[in-house]
Amino acid sequence: MTAPTKGITSQLSPWALGNYHRFAKETVWEVGPVLVEACGIGSGQRVLDVAAGTGNVAIRAAMRGAHVIASDITTENFDAGRAEADARGVEIEWVEGDAQALPFADGEFDVVTSVFGAIFAPDHQRVADELVRVCRPGGVIGITCFVPDGVGGAFFDLFGRHSPPLPAGALPPLLWGGEPYVRQLFGDRVTVDVTRLHYTERAVSPEAYRDLFFETFGPVVAIRTSLANDPDRAAAFDRDFLDFAVQSTSGPPGGPAEYRYEYLLVVARRRASRVSTVGGRHGTHRTRGSAGGC
């Protein structure tokens, strides 16, 4: 997948197309509570959810009594997040923010999280630097990252075959799914625990699973929109997506479709403040970029 950029259709980020909240509720929504539990989020803590989407983690953290800011560059999804938060009886502050240049002070948060969100920003080192920067010494950083094999790897392969090339300098999100790579990004600024877990996405059939993406998942909507004037390529994408949905299900033949996605749960605790060399550079640096989230 490519990181979201402006201008594919009607000046919207791909992550603003479709119906992201419906997509998240039917796919990755169960991962939010897993990350909240792993980070030990509780009452009174100050929490930042980066590339928050419509509040998968942010809402669950607020339900634990935390003071939560949900940050995302795709602000078009905030209204759905606010409505979900209201329905759950919690208050969250929604702030536009780039995962590569977060608009918050150093050490401002007790916990910093991201579920399948910040990994889509093109400059991975800057993302890691920013997650560490805004977390207080002794605080916790928790992220989830798709691994490059299994169903997730097959999905990203499908997407890569039909998407434009990544912009110059942008790195693929699946790199975050390698434990040595994640440890390198954070360096010795944190202590890191990594666990490989899985969650399952379900649909009544492979065709219904395909249609869910076609109707709700913005980056897929963007691809199909971009191919509207090229019927052969559009048909190839539709066919390949259905092939993926049929071949990747672990459900019974003719029965409901099930898709087991494996991911890394990364929980890092920031060490006491000190100068550290990370990725061949000293300190943190900022740039503009983009990341949408879950």
Q: Assess contact for 20 and 222: CB atoms under 8 A.
A: no
286 in a domain, yes or no?
no
- Reply yes or no on whether the pLDDT at 284 is more than 50: no
Cβ burial, residue 123 (10 Å; 0-12/13-18/19+) = buried
The count of C-alpha atoms lying within 13 angstroms of the C-alpha of 160, restricted to the half-sphere facing its C-beta, is 13
Q: What is the CATH number of the domain that holds 198?
A: 3.40.50.150
* Residue 167 binned pLDDT confidence (cut-offs 50, 70, 90): confident
> Domain limits at 235?
14-273
As given in the structure block, the two tokens for residue 36 are 């909240």
Segment 169-191 shows an average pLDDT of 96
What's the pLDDT at 199? 98
Average of per-residue pLDDT values in the chain: 90
What's the pLDDT at 293? 59
Terminal CA-CA length for the chain:
14
177 in a domain, yes or no?
yes
What's the pLDDT at 274? 55
Reduced to 3 DSSP states, what percent helix, strand and coil does the chain have, rounded to the nearest 5? 40, 25, 35
Q: Assess contact for 106 and 270: CB atoms under 8 A.
A: no
Q: How many domains does the chain have?
A: 1
Q: What one-character-per-residue DSSP string does 200-243 give?
A: EEEESSHHHHHHHHHHHBHHHHHHHHHTTT-HHHHHHHHHHHHH
DSSP assignment letter at 97: -
Q: How do residues 37-60 score in pLDDT, each as one tens digit? A: 999 999 999 999 999 999 999 999
3 in a domain, yes or no?
no
133 in a domain, yes or no?
yes
As given in the structure block, the two tokens for residue 102 are 């977060």
What's the pTM value of the predicted model, to 2 decimals?
A: 0.89
Q: Assess contact for 78 and 71: CB atoms under 8 A.
A: no
Element containing residue 265 per DSSP (H, E): strand 257-270
What's the pLDDT at 67? 98
Q: How do residues 100-158 score in pLDDT, each as one tens digit? A: 999 999 999 999 999 999 999 999 999 999 999 999 999 999 999 999 999 999 999 99
53 in a domain, yes or no?
yes
Which pairing describes strands 93-96 and 67-72: parallel, antiparallel, or unpaired?
A: parallel
Q: How do residues 184-232 score in pLDDT, each as one tens digit? A: 999 999 999 999 999 999 999 999 999 999 999 999 999 999 999 999 9
- Reply yes or no on whether the pLDDT at 84 is more than 60: yes
Q: Give the closest residue to 1 by CA, choosing from 213, 196, 215, 179.
A: 213
Q: Assess contact for 219 and 12: CB atoms under 8 A.
A: no
4 in a domain, yes or no?
no
- Reply yes or no on whether the pLDDT at 283 is more than 90: no
Q: How many CB atoms lie within 10 A of CB 235?
A: 11
Q: Which residues pair with 190 in a beta bridge?
A: 270
Q: How do residues 3-29 score in pLDDT, each as one tens digit? A: 333 333 334 689 999 999 999 999 999
40 in a domain, yes or no?
yes
282 in a domain, yes or no?
no
- Reply yes or no on whether the pLDDT at 68 is more than 60: yes
